[in-house]
Each structure stands twice: as structure tokens, then as C-alpha cells.
Amino acid sequence: MVSARRSFAGELPVAAMPRLCEALAGREGTAQYELDFGRDEFGSAYLDVRVQAPLTLLCQRTLEPFALPVTVEGRLGLIGSEREEAALPPDCEPLLIGEDGRLNPAEVIEDELLLALPLVPVNPDSSLPDEVTEPAPEEDSGTGRTDNPFAVLRELKKN
């Protein structure tokens, strides 16, 4: 694929990616992908990956599911051993391929989407509930003063 500079494009259902589905709140949607194989000016084999997918995550603010459009674009340097990683350009992430030189494109797409997931998913359109943002109502004990943890110290100082 690298020597022929092959390119692939298509769709992959989110439900077909079991490791990704474990981190999601829903399995619906499809990932649109483009994969381009080639060699750079230094002769290093690479794979350009572009993926777009709407992923259903659980908002950690509201605990409700929401769709997050995820876009991944990157270059993966295809290496046969870890020693080859140092020769990759700085903008190229290493991808270790097996001894047989085969690569499963679906696994690469799934890995890239997993890496693109936010650590703490929060729906950008959500807001905190009113009981969190409003100040707590003051309890009136009938004496006209609020409880102050230092009020006892003030009384001791007066004596």
C-alpha cells in the first residue's frame, strides 16, 4: 500500500468498534474516514488518517447523553520496531506494525477515535442546574445575625 501510494475512503459504523463503544453512551452513527499511504522525503512510510464521527458521550455536568462531533487528522509513521521511532519527523506519531507488515485499518480508525475522546466529556450547550448556581437561602434564626464560625472568638476577645 505504501509503495503504491494507495488511498481509501469510506464509512465505518460506530457499533463495529467494540473498544470505542465501551467508552460511549450510545452506539449509533458512522465514522467517515480517509486513509492515505505513502513515503515522505526521507523515505519513511506513513499513513495519513482523517476521521469524522458523531460520538454519543455522557455529559459529566448533567449526566445526560449528547452527540460530540469528533474530527481526527494526523500522520502515523509506520515502523517495524521501536528503534525506528527516533527517525520519524516530529509531527509524525509512531504506529508499530506487525512482522508480516499487515495493518487493520478499522483498528487504526478506532484507536484514533479513542485517543480523541475528551478526558471529561461535557456538553458545550449544557449549563449547571439552578440549585448549583443560585446562592443558598439564608436561614434566619430570629436573632438577626448569621452564624459566623469566628463569632465565638469575637465574644472571647471582648471579655
- Residue 1 lies inside a defined structural domain of this protein: no
Task: Categorize the per-residue pLDDT at 98 as very low, low, confident or very high, splitting at 50, 70 and 90.
Answer: confident
The mean pLDDT of 61-90, rounded to a whole number, is 92
- Residue 151 lies inside a defined structural domain of this protein: no
- Residue 147 lies inside a defined structural domain of this protein: no
Whole-number average pLDDT of the chain: 87
Q: What is the domain count for the chain?
A: 1
What are the distances in angstroms from CA 127 to CA 54, 62, 68, 130, 131? 21, 8, 16, 9, 11
- Residue 92 lies inside a defined structural domain of this protein: yes
**pLDDT recorded at residue 43:** 87
pLDDT higher than 80, residue 109: yes
Task: Categorize the per-residue pLDDT at 125 as very low, low, confident or very high, splitting at 50, 70 and 90.
Answer: confident
pLDDT tens digit sequence for 132-148: 666 665 554 555 556 77
**pLDDT recorded at residue 152:** 76
- Residue 154 lies inside a defined structural domain of this protein: no
**pLDDT recorded at residue 2:** 86
The mean pLDDT of 47-56, rounded to a whole number, is 97
Give 77 or 125, the one with higher predicted confidence.
77
- Residue 106 lies inside a defined structural domain of this protein: yes
- Residue 148 lies inside a defined structural domain of this protein: no
pLDDT higher than 90, residue 112: yes
pTM of the model: 0.76
Range of the domain at 129: 7-133
- What SS3 string covers the chain? CCCCCCEEEEEEEHHHCHHHHHCCCCCCCEEEEEEEEEECCCCCEEEEEEEEEEEEEECCCCCCEEEEEEEEEEEEEEECCHHHHHHCCCCCEEEECCCCCCCCHHHHHHHHHHHHCCCCCCCCCCCCCHHHHCCCCCCCCCCCCCCCCCHHHHHHHHC
